[in-house]
Structure 1
Amino acid sequence: MNITTEKIKPYSKVIVLLLKGVVESKSSKWDDIFQYEDKIREYLSVIGLELIYKKEDGYAFLKQVELDEDESTIGLVSRRKLSFGASVVMVILRQILEEFERDLDAYETQERFITEEELKSEIEDFLPQDYDKVKFYSDLEKNISRISDLGYLNKSVADNGETVYSIHKIIKEKVTLDTLLNFKQNLENYGL
């Protein structure tokens, strides 16, 4: 069977972009998501994917539909396991973003930026006193890089030349408030 251009839908390109990763509001195809949202959702549902479309935060991505209580999926999108260190950094970043969004004065800006030093300070407050932080800090750059590769941090350079990271709001989808609380509880339970 030969595919003709007649069968290609006007939203096909944005679906391909979504299959590749996050689509942000600055994308030339962003308006297509708004215009064809229902058709995109219908198409994706056939292959077990759900469109997560956050207009107000300026991003959209795909999530696999869980088929049962064991969280099994069709398997179209691969799941990526994070190391303990990367998980801690993700949870801390989520907590920082939550505090930022609660701060009414912070609404002058839409993004929360953080330096590596600020992140280290937050880690100091987060991890228990007796935890081996030397090893944790030696892996910090690797964990930040991993989280950046996954799209949760965007690296840039501030006016003063310092490297800063903006925390992408998509992290709220990966680390929910319940996940945040459960992670903290597990740390306490394991004596960490």
Structure 2
Amino acid sequence: MEEAQPTPSTAAPQADLSVLAIALLKGVLYRDADEHLWSALLDLQARIRDYVAVLGLELILDEAEGYAFLKSRSSAEESAASALPRLIARRPLSFPVSLLLALLRKKLAEFDAGGGDTRLVLSRDEIVELVRVFLPDSSNEARLIDQIETHINKIVDLGFLRRLKTAGGPASFEVRRILKAFVDAQWLADFDARLAAYQAQLGGGEPAAGASHPNRPGGAA
């Protein structure tokens, strides 16, 4: 007896499921980056949720904003007996990076409240001005800007800023809307308390240790 072969109609969804799982394990899936894959995700999201649940992950999907990613289920959702090793890394952030994330999140909220365009684009100089007033005074302006650019590059690596191509002009960045999913009201409230303590001791000592970043949207570790 010959073994039954999958029909094209069943083989295609299975192939899409595999491609989707691999793409999500690598990082964030954006609608504007791959509309075909995004459409497949909307069709197969129930199966994707079941598949990644076995790995201790959950699918976060925002159709309105056009992004999807995987995050580790909280320990409260898993019994001690069934807890799995964490696939999505939690990385501690330095205080300046945490500060810049909070400022960008607030800037995004202000931008949304104003209506209009859906893409928040900031120049490098605008981002520098956002954060510099919160950092200790420095007699070396160039060194301070270099430090802030290092923090900006870190946030680009984390996936919350996207560097835009410019034709010889100053660098500019799009604030990715996925930032709203990671920096929520509770995160901001906790950070505001830390910021107040930091400003109180700005003249001396080291700033408080960096916040632990939720789950980086850059993929599984």
User: What amino acid sits opposite 2:58 in the alignment?
Assistant: E
Counterparts in 2 of 1:50 and 1:98: CA distance versus 1, 3 Å: same
RMSD after superposition: 2.5
Residues 1:132 and 2:137 aligned together: yes
Deviation of 1:68 after TM superposition, in Å, equals 3.0
Give the distance between the partners of 2:122 and 2:18, measured in 1 at CA. Answer: 36
Residues 1:61 and 2:69 aligned together: yes
Give the distance between the partners of 1:111 and 1:187, measured in 2 at CA. Answer: 27
Give the distance between the partners of 1:89 and 1:75, measured in 2 at CA. Answer: 27
User: What amino acid sits opposite 1:169 in the alignment?
Assistant: R
Matches within 5 A, 1:79-118: 79-104=90-115, 107=116, 109-118=117-126
Identity %: 29
Task: Work out whether residues 112 and 118 of structure 2, in 8 Å CA contact, stay in contact via their aligned partners in 1.
Answer: no
Deviation of 1:172 after TM superposition, in Å, equals 1.1
Give the distance between the partners of 1:61 and 1:113, measured in 2 at CA. Answer: 22
Structure 1 segments unaligned to the other structure (5+ residues): none
Partner of 1:25: 31
Q: Which has the higher contact order (CA 8 A, sep 6+)?
A: 2
Residues 1:119 and 2:119 aligned together: no
Matches within 5 A, 1:71-82: 74-82=85-93
Task: Work out whether residues 57 and 169 of structure 1, in 8 Å CA contact, stay in contact via their aligned partners in 2.
Answer: yes
Partner of 2:205: none
Task: Work out whether residues 85 and 136 of structure 1, in 8 Å CA contact, stay in contact via their aligned partners in 2.
Answer: no
Deviation of 1:21 after TM superposition, in Å, equals 0.0
Give the distance between the partners of 2:18 and 2:177, measured in 1 at CA. Answer: 26
Deviation of 1:181 after TM superposition, in Å, equals 2.2
Task: Work out whether residues 85 and 139 of structure 1, in 8 Å CA contact, stay in contact via their aligned partners in 2.
Answer: no
Counterparts in 2 of 1:186 and 1:102: CA distance versus 1, 3 Å: same
Task: Work out whether residues 55 and 84 of structure 2, in 8 Å CA contact, stay in contact via their aligned partners in 1.
Answer: no
Counterparts in 2 of 1:124 and 1:146: CA distance versus 1, 3 Å: closer
Give the distance between the partners of 2:29 and 2:189, measured in 1 at CA. Answer: 29
SS in 1 for 2:75: coil
Task: Work out whether residues 163 and 173 of structure 2, in 8 Å CA contact, stay in contact via their aligned partners in 1.
Answer: yes
Counterparts in 2 of 1:73 and 1:116: CA distance versus 1, 3 Å: farther
What per-residue deviation string (whole Å, max 9, x for no partner) do you get for residues 72-118 of structure 1?
863111222221111111111111111111113xx2x2100011111
TM-score under structure 1 length normalisation: 0.83
User: What amino acid sits opposite 2:86 in the alignment?
Assistant: G
Give the distance between the partners of 2:84 and 2:157, measured in 1 at CA. Answer: 23
Partner of 2:214: none
What per-residue deviation string (whole Å, max 9, x for no partner) do you get for residues 32-89 of structure 1?
11001111111111111110111111111001001139xx863111222221111111
Q: 1:168 aligns with which of 137, 160, 176?
A: 176
TM-score under structure 2 length normalisation: 0.73
Aligned length: 180
